[in-house]
Structure 1
Amino acid sequence: MGRVTATDRRAVLLATAGLTLATGCATRKAGAQPVPSSSGAPALPALPAQLTHGPRDRPRVALTFHGDGDPAIARALLTEAEKHGARVTVLAVGTWLDAHPDIGRRILDGGHDLGNHTLRHLAVNAMSEAEARAEIVGCAERIRRLTGSVGTWFRPSRTPTASPLVTRLAQEAGYPHVLSYDVDSLDFTSPGAAVVARKVLAEIREGSVVSLHFGYADTVAALPVVLEELDRRGLAAVTTTELFS
């Protein structure tokens, strides 16, 4: 048997996922990335405090990654995204940044958004005010030390949406909007790359914010399939900042 190439693997994965990839797709052009303020994400007054998706009338989507786990997988995912001209949003866990201090700079150097996913990735909505504040501010301080800013977005840990208390604490820490999502890849359940790709591509549409994770091999294998199909559909994967701009 001859050597199986990366193209062969993608074809098998696409077939398993029940998708057909068009050939000759134009490469996506990455748009200019808006620069956040030094304190964090710019306030978008026309939008609610909690955001689940962007405008439905523009061909853009945001792939967002919970930043934790093996940094080698994180780098592989970032490199794969950049090969396709895609930009993503990483919501990093503070202790993960402590363990891998170079990763925050790597994310920004690639033109991606970097945000806050709490210090220790605990159930932040169930905490007291003091505990929740420490989780949010603790991660913000680590991002600031690494990059000079608290980051662009906040996403609560162990829950898709923030309680009113956590929303207020996030705003006080420099995050005007809490970032949720309307497409959950469920990649953290390790269902297989084909299942991850099929679920994302079945639900994603203009303006979607997709929840994905660093640290899972299924996500690495599924990402090329997802990006190639987004290209075929004419949907650009952009940072969350660009999605809402």
Structure 2
Amino acid sequence: MTTPAEDHAAPAPPRRAALLTGLALTAGTLTAGVTAGCSTPRATHARPLSPPPAAPSAPSAAATRGAPALAPAPRRYPDRPADITHGSRTRPSRVALTFHGQGDPAVANSLLGEAEKAGARVTVLAVGTWLDEHPGLARRILDGGHDLGNHTLRHLDINAMSRTDAAAEIQGCADRLKRLTGSIGTWFRPSRSPRASPLVARLAREAGYPHTLSYEVDSLDYTSPGAAAVTRNVLAGVGPGSIVSLHFGYADTVAALPALLHELDRRGLRAVTTTELLS
């Protein structure tokens, strides 16, 4: 499937007040937390890896209250390929909405809240540096009943990297997830590409991820096409067992989600975590 080139514009500063009061009605105006999509990257020249921070920022009091968040460990699915693009077609009521985790945390919280109001559960593939900046979101995702996984440390073009640098991208995010949740997360998805190269897939297995998680439906929300277009893009390709690619950080996605979930429900499709989809 061919997709347009990504928009690599630098994100504008977040505007949480505007987001919280009128996000659904002003989807086309928000630029806070814009992140690059992962479908068809422009050429990217990886910079030499700098040492990771000694420790991530301390979680908020709310994030650390009570028992630590515990994420399930990755599972092997013997009947599934190494690169998973969809679930079973014989369980017609399930689809998985997967979100690339980066951008303004207010947008992330809005998306999670919209999903939970509709009784939906999603899969979040988090960027490691995003977890450094917003460590409380790891707990927020897990407490909502969602899957949490690895989308590399810095969201660079991992397939273009050397073995050493690619391994550091995978392991760097895995380390942060383990520190915050007790697990390396349930899934790994490569950054800046819908598929992992053979090298990256092998490095992911060495880091503890038996499968790489891809998708078969691309919402193209990172192109900011408008909420109606995001909904159309998903509904045009979704079906039983589909895995859908979406992103945190885009107002169009927040505005599209209620209508998207409503239409999925009308079609008899329930949004579940990827783990549940494959169970």
| Matches of 2:246 and 2:267, distance apart in 1 | 20
Give the TM-score taking structure 1 as reference length: 0.84
Aligned letter for 2:201? Answer: T
| Matches of 1:57 and 1:36, distance apart in 2 | 28
Aligned letter for 1:164? Answer: P
Instruction: Provide the residue aligned with 1:57 in structure 2.
Output: 90
Residue in structure 2 matching 1:190, options 224, 240, 256: 224
Instruction: Provide the residue aligned with 2:79 in structure 1.
Output: 46
Aligned letter for 1:134? Answer: A
Instruction: Provide the residue aligned with 2:251 in structure 1.
Output: 217
Give the superposition deviation at 1:132.
Answer: 0.4
Give the secondary-structure state (helix, strand or coil) at the position aligned to 2:245: strand
Corresponding residue pairs, total: 212
Residue 76, structure 1, aligned to residue 76, structure 2 = no
**8 Å contact kept, 2:187–2:213:** yes
Render the CA deviation track for 1:72-109: whole Å, top value 9, x for unaligned.
Answer: 00000000000000000000000000000100110000
Give the superposition deviation at 1:202.
Answer: 1.3
Instruction: Provide the residue aligned with 1:230 in structure 2.
Output: 264
**8 Å contact kept, 1:36–1:42:** no
| Matches of 2:90 and 2:109, distance apart in 1 | 32
| Matches of 1:187 and 1:239, distance apart in 2 | 20
RMSD: 1.5
* Identity level (%): 72
Give the TM-score taking structure 2 as reference length: 0.74
Give the superposition deviation at 1:112.
Answer: 0.1
| Matches of 2:262 and 2:106, distance apart in 1 | 22
Unaligned runs of 5+ in 2: 1-21, 26-69
1 or 2, which has the higher helix percentage? Answer: 1
| Matches of 2:191 and 2:139, distance apart in 1 | 22
| Matches of 1:187 and 1:71, distance apart in 2 | 17
Aligned letter for 1:99? Answer: E
| Matches of 2:87 and 2:126, distance apart in 1 | 21
| 1:13-52 paired onto structure 2 within 5 Å | 37=72, 40-52=73-85
